[in-house]
Amino acid sequence: MILLFLEKNARIGEVRRNIQQRCAMRVIEPSFSIKGQVDARQILKNIEEAGRICYKSENLITEDSAEKFIGHIIARGHESVIEHEKITALIICDRGVTHEIVRHRIASYSQESTRYCNYSKNKFGNEITFIKPYFWAEDSDKYKLWLETMGTIEKSYMQLLELGATPEEARSILPNSLKTEIVVTMNLREWRHFFKLRTHEASHPQMREIARPMLDHFKQILPVVFDDIEY
């Protein structure tokens, strides 16, 4: 009985090694970057100029009055004023995460398309890239099973293309773990809403994995707008 168990495990291990050797798949961690230059001083100035129209208090604008004014209106819940400014970010994550991101409707999105991207082409390195599920250690049985499954999916995807399937047909077998890139533009009020929801303990762990570092970065860029959001 013990011998059979050991032989079975040896066969499973061999299968995993063979799959990894045959496949060129890549496994990466999620990341993000801010698109373009963010002029924090100008953003705060624009928000203050817009907000003071409400009170006809433009005469109170000084070189350093914007931060205090914006902190005051946010504390009062008068957040419509900060909708006048936006930030654009490039997020690299798995498609399961982007399914949740695009539920934020007051935003603009441009996402890598599995209909038109053929991952067998040279510009993709003739491979499929997957996002590592960080909640499983690399030496765990769960991670090894996930890795084996991703290798099988990549192999089957490439075979479908070889059999004449189009990328939009072959994508039907691609998993949530597929790496994708999405450009996200939100006004500052919507970014606040996004971070309040997506950094919360109740959000999906892979969403928190990308949203929390993003919030920390946004706090560095515009502390007066984001510093009150905690996780």
Domain assignments of the chain as residue spans, ordered by start: 2-33+115-177, 35-89+182-226
Residues in the chain: 231
Averaged pLDDT of the chain: 92
Q: Are 43 and 222 in contact (CB under 8 A)?
A: yes
Please tell me the class of the 35-89+182-226 domain. Answer: alpha beta
Instruction: Give me the catalytic one of 41, 198, 208, 212.
Output: 198
Q: Give the model confidence (pLDDT) of 100-126 as tens digits.
A: 999 999 999 999 999 999 999 999 999
198 given a catalytic annotation: yes
Residue 6 has pLDDT above 50, yes or no: no
CA atoms within 13 A on the CB side of 174: 25
